[in-house]
Amino acid sequence: MAVAALNGKIYVVGGFEESGLGNFLNFAITPSLEKYEPATNTWTTRSPMPIGLHHAGIGVAGGKLYVIGGYTQSGLSVWHPGATVYAYDPAMDIWTEHAPMPTPRGALSVTAHDGNCMPLAATTGRPIALPSRSTIREATPGLCERPYRP
């Protein structure tokens, strides 16, 4: 799952849920989005993501949540890295798909800087971390790839 705070609310997106098969080896990836309001101590289910993801990166820019990369299911594996970029507008309760990242990635670290969400490091499904200098630009939907500099 991925968690971010926006406008005094806490949003929890994706992750695993019980598969219903009673076997802990059968993972079910969820596209769910839930909002927690600390002022009223209440949880609300919001519109789910277009696809289920786990270990996605999440950032906040321009009043929207950006869910970046993560793992999806492919065949029998639930560890297939994705390149998707989704923006969630909490005022409209809708998801918008943006241009994908050039490289599929999961287990991302994301930070917000100058109105952009930047995935800084991730894995590609192999045991080696992939450093990245990609920027998700809020003003110009899509991805701007920059060369990596240590």
- CATH number, domain of 100, equals 2.120.10.80
* In a domain? residue 150: no
> Exposed, middle or buried by CB within 10 Å (0-12, 13-18, 19+), for 40?
exposed
Cα 135 to Cα 66: distance, rounded to the nearest angstrom: 11
* Among 119, 127, 126, residue whose Cα is nearest residue 145: 119
How many domains are contained in the chain? 1
Token pair, residue 76, equals 């029998």
Integer distance in angstroms from the first to the last C-alpha of the chain?
A: 29
> Exposed, middle or buried by CB within 10 Å (0-12, 13-18, 19+), for 70?
buried
Distance of CA 132 to the CA centre of its chain: 16
Query: Which range of residues forms the domain containing residue 93?
Result: 2-145
* In a domain? residue 104: yes
pTM: 0.79
Residue 147 confidence (pLDDT): 31
Token pair, residue 50, equals 């277009």
127-147 pLDDT, tens per residue? 444 444 455 544 333 444 443
* In a domain? residue 18: yes
Q: Which residues of the chain have pLDDT under 70?
A: 19-26, 120-150
Contact (CB, 8 A) for 51 and 31 = yes
Instruction: Name residue, tokens 């939907």.
Output: 141
Residue 77 confidence (pLDDT): 82
Cα 52 to Cα 22: distance, rounded to the nearest angstrom: 20
* In a domain? residue 60: yes
